[in-house]
């Protein structure tokens, strides 16, 4: 069923274009109107599509909009087309709605920034690209959006580009993304090569049909693994780049150099979730290879735990949230990696709300603290910025997984699903359990570091900052607080769309899973006891984490925290330095790449281009110039000498009977043992009388010369002979010889 889906990404793109062209001349209000209006428009269209049009079309594969054919080359045909089904529709809603809220927030946050129009132009551009990514009907269209959001991420992280650190952070994000994109491309190529299509519906159908088979996608490839495994793995490498998992997560903490709304939108709610979306979209492919799924789940779980540990020791507000994002993304990947696609997407949804809320609170707190994000000088802000505190409280409880807040439902379904999954088969079923255990540890860690953040910033009665900063502390303006409140409501209540109705024999209570079934398949079946057991365990872990944090940091730095820091200072420093992974990368990979680039630069640029390609033509032209200058030397006798030499040369060449330099123009036709030789140069009759003497390599006796250019000869025995024709000009006495090998049977 067709629907004008193209409007959804088109409106933000138009907004971006208009703002880039005219934004600088307009007033701030106009700029905001255009930008937020574009997003709001998209939001309305998305809502309309999702709630009114989609239900009727859900069974038929969702809403469809074909704009035109993009590539038609041979057997490759890619349409610029969009498809809105439950999965992409849900993400569209998230992107447009939260995007709209962040546009409103930015009007307050970026109020004093001179580059206001450029910011909104980039924000709109980002939203447009993300929508293309999500709505794309095929992998190449998704890749367009993929690249587009990478670009916007670079532009927005390095928004305040006058600072080297910001520019470097933008570069790091883009380059790390690019490395992942290589994996994405290879995965795409593998899929196209094997299945001949890149369209999602067709791929899903092909993958579903290939289950249990041994050809096509399941054909065995390197290391004995099927093609599907490698395609899935390479696509996942792309996802690790975009969604900041091990090993390509290093750009995300640095990306906090950008404005906070950017961090909220891109690095919390939308762009980083692109990887999860991609895996969910390709779920049929992943279901073919439990090996790849194990890798996805394993990497996700490990990342979740690893990032959580790093978060224990960070002193910058946004850095804590950055590692938290990495960690939560790990949860999502663990969810989709254990074939619990509904849970992964559910967590994506809830995370968007509470993480965006947390980031915007960070912006609010930093606004209050005069731009500083150092939590060591905060404290006691609970009374001073009450609205921000309220929102942060709600989002904090959500992320910790306190019951009935949104995070509780989503995180719990992931953990439960990890233990109960059967996708890995009976032999390696321990993978699921191992993933589950790691996730539980990570959940505990999440509760701990988020609570640490809460207590250090908001609890206590004293703010540890200097007096001048303390005087400056004030609540944010309404334009900033408004979106915060909306996000808090979402964080609080969002969980209710995914109620685990199955527990009470009312599976239809799980609205989300219901909607997603046509796309992602049926909800995972988890035994009631398992589910309830893990729910309880999650709550225990959450409360335990909060409690431990309270012990260490309730109301400020307390004794246990100081003792721990004193007891293991080197370990604490290591964790604070994010395990020095960046330094490791620098020493091993980056140094080598830089060296290689230098070598290439030296060889290609200095030698090949400068000396050879530029120098050589220059030298040739110079040589010609020198020669020309020599020719006109002014020495009359030189002129005459050249005259004479030239005349001699011309005479020589003009009197050759035939020119044999380039080719031997003997036309030899063989028929049996007879050979017809034609020494004509061209079809025109000869303008000179020439004598032809044919020699057929037979018995060494050349035939007597005659004036006929053609000759016929019959060989006695078959073999390979060389026919020689000597052409003489009787007037000038010059002659030339033509040769041709001929094979006679």
106: left (phi over 0), alpha (psi -120 to 50) or beta: alpha
The residue ranges of DSSP E strands in 61-203, in sequence order, are 63-73, 76-84
- Least Cβ distance, residue 713 to other proteins (angstroms): 30
- Least Cβ distance, residue 623 to other proteins (angstroms): 18
CB nearer other proteins, residue 111 or residue 635: 635
- Least Cβ distance, residue 721 to other proteins (angstroms): 34
Binding positions for other proteins, rule: CB under 8 A? 633-638, 640-645, 647-649, 651-652, 655, 730-733
- Least Cβ distance, residue 732 to other proteins (angstroms): 6
| Whole-number Å distance between alpha carbons of 376 and 363 | 17
**CA-based nearest residue to 235, from 183, 309, 287:** 183
With beta carbons less than 8 A apart as the criterion, state whether 98 and 92 touch. Answer: no
- Least Cβ distance, residue 167 to other proteins (angstroms): 59
- Least Cβ distance, residue 687 to other proteins (angstroms): 17
| Whole-number Å distance between alpha carbons of 82 and 80 | 7
Cis peptide before 247 (omega within 30 of 0): yes
CB nearer other proteins, residue 164 or residue 637: 637
- Least Cβ distance, residue 621 to other proteins (angstroms): 24
Long-range pairs for 341-344 at CB < 8 Å and ≥24 separation? 341/280, 341/283, 341/516, 341/520, 341/521, 342/413, 342/498, 342/510, 342/512, 342/513, 342/516, 342/520, 342/523, 342/524, 343/410, 343/413, 343/414, 343/417, 343/524, 344/276, 344/279, 344/280, 344/414
CB nearer other proteins, residue 618 or residue 642: 642
- Least Cβ distance, residue 642 to other proteins (angstroms): 7
CB nearer other proteins, residue 391 or residue 658: 658
CB nearer other proteins, residue 551 or residue 631: 631
3-state secondary structure of 426: coil
CB nearer other proteins, residue 631 or residue 708: 631
- Least Cβ distance, residue 641 to other proteins (angstroms): 3
CB nearer other proteins, residue 73 or residue 654: 654
* Dihedral sign for Cα atoms in the order 261, 266, 268, 269: positive
- Least Cβ distance, residue 628 to other proteins (angstroms): 16
CB nearer other proteins, residue 193 or residue 638: 638
**CA-based nearest residue to 246, from 554, 677, 584:** 584
- Least Cβ distance, residue 648 to other proteins (angstroms): 4
Residues 6+ apart with CB under 8 A from 243: 272, 273, 274, 275, 276, 329, 332, 333
| H or E stretch covering 442 | helix 430-458
- Least Cβ distance, residue 731 to other proteins (angstroms): 5
CB nearer other proteins, residue 76 or residue 645: 645
CB nearer other proteins, residue 533 or residue 623: 623
| Whole-number Å distance between alpha carbons of 490 and 405 | 9
* Dihedral sign for Cα atoms in the order 488, 490, 494, 496: positive
* Dihedral sign for Cα atoms in the order 194, 197, 199, 201: negative
CA 19 to chain centre: 26
| Whole-number Å distance between alpha carbons of 367 and 474 | 8
**CA-based nearest residue to 576, from 378, 323, 312:** 312
The residue ranges of DSSP E strands in 481-600, in sequence order, are none
CB nearer other proteins, residue 73 or residue 636: 636
- Least Cβ distance, residue 741 to other proteins (angstroms): 33
* Concatenated DSSP letters of 670-734: EETTEEEEE--SSSSPPSS--EEEEE-SSSSPPPPPBS-SEEEEE-SS-EEEEEEEEEEETTTTE
CB nearer other proteins, residue 21 or residue 640: 640
DSSP 243: T
CB nearer other proteins, residue 69 or residue 731: 731
- Least Cβ distance, residue 656 to other proteins (angstroms): 12
Distances (CA, A) of 533 to 414, 419, 426, 502: 13, 11, 22, 14
3-state secondary structure of 281: helix
CB nearer other proteins, residue 608 or residue 648: 648
| Whole-number Å distance between alpha carbons of 650 and 644 | 10
With beta carbons less than 8 A apart as the criterion, state whether 473 and 384 touch. Answer: yes
CB nearer other proteins, residue 135 or residue 658: 658
- Least Cβ distance, residue 633 to other proteins (angstroms): 6
Token digits for 413? 């379904």
| Whole-number Å distance between alpha carbons of 265 and 372 | 20
DSSP 79: E
CB nearer other proteins, residue 612 or residue 645: 645
With beta carbons less than 8 A apart as the criterion, state whether 474 and 574 touch. Answer: no
CB nearer other proteins, residue 616 or residue 651: 651
* Dihedral sign for Cα atoms in the order 283, 285, 290, 296: negative
- Least Cβ distance, residue 653 to other proteins (angstroms): 12
- Least Cβ distance, residue 691 to other proteins (angstroms): 13
């Amino acid at each position: 069923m067709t629907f004008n889906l193209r409007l959804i990404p088109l409106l933000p793109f138009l907004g971006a274009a208009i703002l880039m062209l005219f934004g600088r001349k307009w007033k701030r209000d106009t700029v905001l109107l255009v930008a937020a209006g574009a997003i709001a428009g998209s939001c309305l269209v998305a809502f309309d599509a999702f709630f009114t049009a989609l239900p009727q079309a859900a069974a038929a594969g969702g809403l469809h909009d074909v704009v035109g054919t993009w590539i038609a080359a041979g057997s490759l045909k890619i349409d610029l087309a969009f498809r809105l089904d439950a999965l992409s529709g849900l993400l569209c809603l998230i992107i447009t709605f939260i995007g709209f809220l962040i546009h409103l927030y930015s009007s307050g946050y970026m109020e004093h920034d001179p580059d206001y129009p450029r910011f909104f132009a980039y924000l709109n551009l980002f939203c447009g690209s993300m929508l293309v990514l999500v709505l794309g009907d095929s992998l190449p269209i998704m890749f367009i959006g993929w690249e587009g959001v990478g670009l916007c991420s670079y532009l927005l992280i390095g928004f305040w580009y006058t600072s080297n650190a910001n520019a470097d952070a933008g570069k790091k994000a883009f380059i790390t993304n690019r490395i992942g994109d290589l994996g994405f491309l290879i995965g795409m190529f593998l899929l196209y090569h094997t299945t001949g299509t890149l369209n999602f519906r067709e791929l899903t159908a092909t993958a579903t049909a290939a289950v249990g088979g041994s050809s096509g996608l399941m054909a065995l490839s390197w290391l004995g693994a099927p093609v599907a495994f490698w395609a899935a793995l390479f696509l996942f490498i792309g996802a690790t780049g975009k969604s900041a998992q091990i090993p390509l997560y290093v750009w995300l903490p640095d990306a906090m150099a950008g404005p906070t709304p950017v961090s909220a939108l891109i690095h919390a709610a939308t762009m980083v979730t692109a990887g999860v979306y991609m895996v969910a979209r390709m779920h049929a492919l992943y279901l073919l290879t439990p090996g790849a799924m194990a890798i996805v789940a394993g990497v996700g779980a490990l990342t979740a735990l690893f990032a959580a540990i790093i978060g224990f020791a960070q002193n910058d507000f946004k850095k804590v949230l950055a590692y938290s994002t990495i960690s939560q993304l790990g949860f999502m990947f663990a969810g989709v990696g254990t074939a619990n696609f509904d849970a992964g997407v559910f967590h994506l949804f809830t995370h968007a709300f509470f993480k965006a809320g947390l980031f915007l609170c960070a912006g609010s707190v930093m606004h209050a603290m005069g731009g500083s994000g150092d939590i060591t000088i905060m404290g006691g802000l609970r009374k001073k910025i009450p609205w921000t505190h309220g929102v942060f409280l709600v989002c904090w409880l959500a992320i910790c997984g306190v019951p009935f807040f949104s995070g509780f439902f989503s995180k719990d379904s992931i953990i439960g699903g990890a233990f109960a999954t059967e996708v890995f088969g009976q032999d390696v079923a321990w993978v699921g359990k191992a993933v589950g255990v790691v996730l539980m540890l990570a959940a505990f860690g999440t509760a701990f570091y988020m609570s640490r953040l809460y207590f250090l910033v908001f609890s206590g009665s004293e703010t540890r900052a200097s007096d001048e900063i303390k005087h400056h502390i004030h609540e944010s303006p309404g334009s900033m607080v408004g979106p915060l409140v909306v996000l808090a409501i979402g964080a609080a209540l969002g969980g209710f769309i995914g109620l685990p109705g199955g527990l009470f024999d009312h599976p239809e209570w799980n609205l989300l899973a219901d909607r997603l079934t046509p796309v992602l398949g049926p909800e995972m079946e988890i035994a009631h006891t398992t589910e309830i057991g893990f729910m309880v365990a999650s709550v225990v872990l959450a409360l335990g984490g909060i409690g431990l944090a309270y012990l260490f940091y309730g109301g400020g730095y307390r004794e246990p925290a100081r003792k721990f820091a004193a007891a293991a200072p080197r370990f604490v420093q290591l964790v604070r330095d994010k395990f020095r992974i960046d330094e490791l990368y620098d020493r091993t990979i980056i140094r080598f790449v830089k060296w290689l680039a230098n070598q290439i630069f030296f060889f290609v640029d200095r030698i090949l281009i400068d000396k050879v390609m530029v120098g050589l033509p220059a030298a040739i032209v110079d040589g010609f110039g020198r020669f020309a200058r020599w020719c006109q030397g002014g020495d009359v006798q030189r002129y005459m000498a050249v005259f004479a030499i030239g005349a001699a040369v011309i005479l020589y060449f003009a009197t050759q009977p035939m020119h044999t330099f380039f080719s031997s123009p003997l036309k030899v036709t063989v028929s049996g043992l007879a050979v017809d030789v034609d020494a004509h140069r061209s079809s025109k009759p000869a303008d000179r009388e020439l004598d032809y003497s044919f020699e057929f390599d037979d018995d060494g006796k050349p035939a007597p010369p005659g004036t006929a250019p053609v000759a016929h000869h019959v060989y006695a025995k078959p073999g390979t002979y060389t026919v020689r024709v000597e052409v003489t000009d009787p007037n000038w006495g010059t002659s030339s010889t033509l040769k041709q090998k001929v094979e006679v049977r």
